[in-house]
């Protein structure tokens, strides 16, 4: 984007970019919150003796939680890079 085009953004366009940045942060926090819930659930299932019959579900939750975190981080930076192009 040219310098002249960057300066020609109206106030409503600048505010729209800021709203989009905040929405991206909220989305990342939702991914992180899901990661924490899945990780803690998986750890609880693997540590509690009376839940031994679903031990593999606990392991699966732990693995999926880390994939979810990695995806959330990648998504955040990808969208953040695209948003930065509009400034």
pLDDT at 86: 75
Going by C-alpha positions, the residue among 38, 23, 25 that lies closest to residue 69 is 38
Whole-number percent of the chain with pLDDT over 90? 78
Q: What average pLDDT does this structure show over 42-71?
A: 95
Q: Is the pLDDT of residue 85 over 90?
A: no
> Cα–Cα–Cα angle for 65, 70, 72, nearest 5°?
90
Q: Is the pLDDT of residue 8 over 80?
A: no
Structure letter (DSSP) for residue 50? G
Whole-number percent of the chain with pLDDT over 70? 91
């Amino acid at each position: 984007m040219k310098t002249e085009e960057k300066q020609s953004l109206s106030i409503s366009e600048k505010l729209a970019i800021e709203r989009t940045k905040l929405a991206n942060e909220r989305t990342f926090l939702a991914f992180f919150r899901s990661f924490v819930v899945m990780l803690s659930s998986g750890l609880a299932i693997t540590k509690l003796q009376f839940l031994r019959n679903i031990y593999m579900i606990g392991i699966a939750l732990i693995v999926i939680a880390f994939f979810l975190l990695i995806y959330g981080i990648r998504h955040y930076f990808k969208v953040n890079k695209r948003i930065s192009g509009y400034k």
